[in-house]
Structure 1
Amino acid sequence: MRFLSLEPLLGPLTSLDLTGIDWVIVGGESGPRARPMDLKWARLLRDQCAAAGVAFYFKQAGSVLARQWAAAAKELSRPTGRNRFRGNSPRCRDGRQSTVCLP
């Protein structure tokens, strides 16, 4: 299996050559000083993977509010390619993994 781990994703990747790639993992930064990731970047990669028949895994979005994470995780965890991979729970700015993060 050949895969790309695009984490931390710090900017958009507009034209990724996915030839021979089976799986793409996307994630933002983690930890106490994690910066928020622009979800447009993950959507762009998800769409590129879907067009190429490559499995897509959305791991984390850096530091986001729980209400933003819920919508993003649902949207970005839809099946692409040959497999279905799901994201995990949100990370708070202090590095905790939680469904409730305060700004």
Structure 2
Amino acid sequence: MHSLTTHWQAVKRILHYLKSTIYHGISLQPSTDLSLICYTDVDWASCPDDRKSTSGHCCFLGPILISWSCTKQKVVSRSSVESEYRGLANAASELI
């Protein structure tokens, strides 16, 4: 019964958030620019508990954001270069 109260509070919080962001959105506009650009960034060993890196990327088709992600990497990298390479590999697989 206690978890029901917790879930109900979460539902009310989500509904309150949706109500306050009803006029926000993503605007899509026609564009002739079809360049595919992806930006990546990695924070090496950012988690003090397990020393795993956090990586993120965002991909654009012209001026339009088509994909983004921010996740903790699954393995511990030995160097910042290795963690950057893992982040780049994740972004490249998303593009493919």
What TM-score range do you get, normalising by the shorter chain?
A: under 0.3
Q: Give the structure with the larger strand fraction.
A: 2
Which structure has the greater CA radius of gyration? 2
Higher relative contact order (CA 8 A, sep 6+): 1
What is the TM-score of this pair, normalised by structure 1?
A: 0.26
The structure that is helix-richer by fraction is 2
| Structure 2 length-normalised TM | 0.28
